[in-house]
Amino acid sequence: MKKKLAIKDIAAALSVSEASVSIVLNGKARQNGISVKLEDKIMSFVKKVGYQPNRLAVGLRTGKSKTIGMIVEDISDPFFSSIARVVEQHIYQYGYRLIYGSSENSTEIANDLMQTFKNYQVDGYILAPAPGLEDGVEDLIKAGAPVILFDRTLPDLPCSTVVVDNFRGSESATMHLIENKFRNIAFVTLSSRQDQMTERVNGYLAALKAHDLPAVIKDIEYREAKEKTVQSIKNLLKGKHDIDALFFSTNYLALSGLEAIKEMDLVVGQDIGVVVFDDNNNFALFTPAITAVAQPIREIGLQVSKILLDQLQEDHMIGSQNILLKTKLVVRDSSAPLRRHS
């Protein structure tokens, strides 16, 4: 077993003090008046033997772990994993690593994760906050920790946020359906209303109201079995509302919805229109291709990283930034005016 070498080993090997090695390693040779000669000697030796400092010891000593904690709802959801990917790439160059957890939208798991991150002395937090995380986040902010909320916010907290304009995104998608002559548009969403979902509902309602059209909102339990969701949507479709279009508030809800439509032998584009909030790599390949409200994933990840890095650099608290990003309605075939079979 290769023994791991420590600063004292390299100091001993070169007959210099540990302190000099540490100073050189941290690029503070200049300000501490270390000779260029010694610096070179140390650096080349370090490189030769491939020494790397123990991050745990550095962290313990400096109080900086160079680690960022990220809480997503579910890392296997492409929306979150894609953002995680962008953040990872971006902060990596600055020497930060990502440690993450999936909250499943549970207050308990999320708080537990927060506690864990604290114990790991993470330097910053990137959170898609589960409900009930207000207190935890408030404590962090009071403690001066960099915290960025994304995807959804927590009301009344002086905290940086990066979110999309859910209201307008939803409103414009609904208007688009209305323009294409849909008149009975149902909105399929989650029963647990977090703020991003509330905004999506409100956008939908606003558009309908402006045109004096009836609203039908179908609430689905978070994480209920897929078959159950499919059944609920079938019931909705069979119901008295004579629905001609379905607007899904999330990507995975749409997957269940499309299945329900298929099982009922309805045809998207002929019998019913479909729009989905949150785009997906595959939607362009569906038949018909699915119209979606696309979120600027890359931009979200970039902004989150940028603000975090900013806050990490600042010694004194800087005002929090609140970024609102535009969504983009990607019109495909599923929302075209119906061509009904005779």
Partner DNA sequence: CTGAAAGCGCTAACAT
Partner DNA sequence: ATGTTAGCGCTTTCAG
Question: Where does this chain touch DNA (CB under 7 A) — which range of 14-22, 97-105, 151-159, 302-310?
Answer: 14-22
Q: Give the residue with the Cβ less far from DNA, 37 or 142.
A: 37
The type of residue at 12 is A
Q: Does 52 bind a second copy (CB under 8 A)?
A: yes
For residues 41-60, which are near DNA according to CB under 7 A? 53-54, 57-58, 60
- φ, ψ for residue 186, nearest 5 deg: -100, 145
Q: Give the residue with the Cβ less far from a second copy, 197 or 261.
A: 261
Q: Does 282 bind a second copy (CB under 8 A)?
A: yes
Kindly state the smallest distance separating residue 18's Cβ from DNA, in Å: 5
Q: How far apart are alpha carbons 229 and 141 in whole angstroms? A: 38
Q: Give the residue with the Cβ less far from DNA, 33 or 155.
A: 33
The binder of 7, among DNA, a second copy, none, by C-beta within 5 to 8 A per type, is DNA
Q: Which of 26, 89, 115, 313 binds DNA (CB under 7 A)?
A: 26
CB 127 within 8 A of CB 145: no
List, edge to edge, every strand of the sheet that includes 185-190.
Answer: 216-220, 185-190, 245-248, 273-277, 291-294, 328-330
Q: In the chain, count of helices (H) and strands (E)?
A: 12, 12
CA-based nearest residue to 308, from 64, 68, 58, 59: 68
- Helix, strand, coil percent values for the chain (each to nearest 5): 45, 15, 40
Q: How far apart are alpha carbons 59 and 50 in whole angstroms? A: 20
Please report, for residues 174, 230, 252, the alpha-carbon distance to residue 225 in angstroms, rounded to integers and kept in the order given.
28, 9, 12
Residue 294 CA, chain-centre distance (Å), reads: 14
The binder of 313, among DNA, a second copy, none, by C-beta within 5 to 8 A per type, is none
Q: Does 298 bind a second copy (CB under 8 A)?
A: no
Q: Give the residue with the Cβ less far from DNA, 61 or 240.
A: 61
Q: Which of 6, 11, 41, 81 binds a second copy (CB under 8 A)?
A: 81
Q: Does 103 bind a second copy (CB under 8 A)?
A: no
CA-based nearest residue to 245, from 169, 331, 336: 336
The binder of 302, among a second copy, DNA, none, by C-beta within 5 to 8 A per type, is none
Q: How far apart are alpha carbons 43 and 65 in whole angstroms? A: 23
Q: Does 26 bind a second copy (CB under 8 A)?
A: no
State the DSSP code for 222: T
Kindly state the smallest distance separating residue 202's Cβ from a second copy, in Å: 29
Site string for a second copy, 303-332 (x = CB under 8 A): ------------------------------
Find the farthest-apart pair of alpha carbons in the chain and give their distance in angstroms, rounded.
92
Q: Give the residue with the Cβ less far from a second copy, 169 or 301.
A: 301
Please report, for residues 166, 168, 185, 315, 330, the alpha-carbon distance to residue 162 in angstroms, rounded to integers and kept in the order given.
12, 16, 29, 22, 21
Give the β-pairing of 322-325 and 328-330. Answer: unpaired
Q: Give the residue with the Cβ less far from a second copy, 182 or 252.
A: 252
Q: Which of 13, 27, 49, 62 binds DNA (CB under 7 A)?
A: 62
Q: Give the residue with the Cβ less far from a second copy, 50 or 319.
A: 50
CB 317 within 8 A of CB 287: no
Task: Using CB under 7 A, list all residues that contact DNA.
Answer: 4, 6-8, 15-20, 22-23, 25-26, 28, 32-35, 37-38, 53-54, 57-58, 60-62
By CB under 8 A, name the binding residues for a second copy: 1-2, 52-57, 59-60, 65, 67, 74-78, 81-82, 84-85, 88-89, 92, 97-102, 115-116, 118-121, 139, 142-144, 255, 258-259, 262, 280-282, 284-287
